[in-house]
Amino acid sequence: MMRQMREATKPIMLFTALAFVALMVFEWGMDATGRSAGSVGEIGSVNGDPVMYEAYMAAYRRIYDQVQRSQEGLISTQQNREIEDAAFDEIVTQILIQQALDERGITVSDAEISEAARFSPPDYLRPQFVTEEGQFDMQGYQAFLASLPQEQLLILEGYYRDVIPRGKLLRQVTSGIFVSDADLWRQWRDRNERVAVRYVAFDPEVRYPDSLFTVPDAEIQAYYRAHQEDYEIPARATIRIAVLSKTPTPADTAAALERARNLRAEIVEQGADFAEVARRESADPTSGRLGGELGVVRRGDMTPVFDSVVFAAPVGQVTQPVRTTFGAHLIRVDERWGADSARASHILVPFERTEDSEIALLTLADSLEDMSVTSGLEQAAASVGATFSELEISETFPVVAGAGRIVEGSEWAFEEAEPGDLSPVFETDLAFYALELVSSQPAGVLPLEEVRAVIRARLLLERKMERSREDARQVLERVRQGEGLANAAAAAGLEVRDAGPFTRVDFVQGLGSQNAAIGAAFGTPPGEVSDVVQTANNTFLIEVVDRVPADSTAWRAQIDQQREATLQQLRAQRLDVWLEALRASADIRDRRDEVLRQPGDDEPLPPMMPMGF
């Protein structure tokens, strides 16, 4: 019991630190309290209610950490912009939901909170009270609840005051959704009914050489005129670019490893407290605030290298520095249960440039800009050790290897520069870079000459498909007259192939997935041959060899669970539609660019970039 209580208290403390609220079937958002000092104030509004900077930053930091934990590489500039927009959208959604609650008069009583706390534990607590038989230990949970101090009970009360009204709103929004038994049977049948087939594929692209057909130029031109939207292209520019990478040097990496070793020595040899060192030194802000604690770690949660150490290192010992793409980690495994669960802490020393290395890099960036004016961009790049290349970028996807998404450079090239102009030095998270504009082309439509071959190939395929349809009819006619499919196919120089058993939702080699061929396989009685079937680029005759019907008894045994899962999905879809309509009718004002712009700056101040691991 005591272990259950210790394990259950841990998520509540994390809940306190991160101000996180788990909300029903969908992510309603979080109780983002933000910072108490240095407030920027309002950065937007929703129907007149303010979007506060503190709430925005709390959401931004949480989403940033989630994305960083899900990948080994650093977050790119483009990802960061998407995270910023997602954070703003999340706060807007929270405000819209609160406005809907107020408008509908949805509240929660003390009695409802008490009832929910006793009999409906939060999802994040449930795993801590599962018996060996896999059942939820309600008695153990209620004993734990009775032992909580007042401040923890207030946290749970806040949770239920937030969740219960939203649950009521969810039920109102998604009321009236009904799933018939016929719909559920259709779903079950699609996943469980199986057929085995023999089929003839006419493979028109291979079977018929291009020389059999003619495509008049007039027809190509007519197709081009009728499908202009297929050949629209964004503005393009040919640029020369010098990229000066921000990647830490080997000396920087060595310095980070040495710093990690010194921190380990401070803990192991000098007796310093691991948690205090983590709070003081760790570059991971989430665990750093908690003294390095990561909580319960399950196998596969972390990057492979980190993961392997957590499940191999001696419990209670601080490891030597462990290298990942994020930096050097000092890891301490506090507890381990079996082969797939552990409680661990870490201190992250990032691989980043030292102060001297950073100054040297900035000096090189300044030199790149000065020298490109006097010596040309290529010579300047060679002098400072930058990479140099000539390439084409599009206005909608201005990405350059080594620099990432060059937004500022793209705006300069497409909005300001003339051929031959040199840009100032711009910066991304990955590099400093400078451009020379060689040429640019406005958005438009690809000329006919550039797409003539593509159009001709498409029109040829249409002719080949028509020919294959005629040949398939002839083979089918022989089958209808009593000849076996294999013999009729052989007479046409074709072979019969086997496929299955497969379901309606499977991908079938040779036939494809959820197309006319799959439909014909299930629509043709066993022992019979289908009519001619055409997909996007092939023609088939299909003979059904065997069919195994879906088991209706097994379906009945699971229908309640299937119904609930289907209802959950439909409710989520209804909710999405409702939220979209709510946003579409709302007066949403995004003032981030205006408010976060520092006086005298041309660009808005970006959110603080939290470190992850």
Question: What type of residue sits at position 256?
Answer: A
pLDDT at residue 29, as a whole number: 33
59: region left, alpha or beta (phi > 0 left; psi from -120 to 50 alpha): alpha
pLDDT at residue 290, as a whole number: 87
pLDDT at residue 338, as a whole number: 72
Domain range 2-175+574-595, CATH architecture: Orthogonal Bundle (1.10)
As annotated, the residues of the chain forming the CATH 3.10.50.40 domain(s) are 250-352
pLDDT at residue 131, as a whole number: 79
144: region left, alpha or beta (phi > 0 left; psi from -120 to 50 alpha): alpha
Domain 232-247+356-445 class in CATH: alpha beta
Backbone angles phi, psi at 221, to 5 degrees: -65, -40
Cα–Cα separations (whole angstroms), residue 242 to 1, 47, 231, 379: 63, 46, 32, 10
Q: Which pair of tokens denotes residue 356?
A: 């001297």
Classify residue 302 by its DSSP letter: S
Half-sphere exposure of 449 (CA within 13 A, CB side): 0
For Cα atoms 519, 522, 528, give the angle at the middle one, nearest 5 degrees: 115
Give the separation between CA 294 and CA 388, rounded to whole angstroms: 43
pLDDT at residue 549, as a whole number: 94
Q: Which pair of tokens denotes residue 219?
A: 């027809």
pLDDT at residue 9, as a whole number: 40
Average pLDDT, the chain: 85
As annotated, the residues of the chain forming the CATH 1.10.4030 domain(s) are 2-175+574-595
DSSP 304-350: HHHHHHHTTSPBTPBPSPEEETTEEEEEEEEEEETTTEEEEEEEEEE
Strand extents, DSSP E, 351-430? 387-394, 399-400, 404-405, 426-427
Give the separation between CA 580 and CA 178, rounded to whole angstroms: 22
pLDDT at residue 257, as a whole number: 93
pLDDT at residue 77, as a whole number: 65
Domain 194-231+448-548 class in CATH: alpha beta
Domain range 250-352, CATH architecture: Roll (3.10)
pLDDT at residue 22, as a whole number: 35
Give the separation between CA 338 and CA 311, rounded to whole angstroms: 9
Q: Which uninterrupted H or E stretch holds 444? A: strand 444-445
First to last CA, the chain: 33
382: region left, alpha or beta (phi > 0 left; psi from -120 to 50 alpha): alpha
Q: Block means of pLDDT (10 residues each) for the chain, length 613 residues?
A: 40 35 34 37 90 89 85 72 90 91 89 85 78 81 82 81 86 88 94 95 94 94 93 92 91 92 94 93 86 84 84 91 89 85 90 88 92 93 94 91 90 93 90 94 91 94 96 95 94 93 93 93 94 95 95 93 91 89 91 69 46 35
Q: Which uninterrupted H or E stretch holds 13? A: helix 2-18
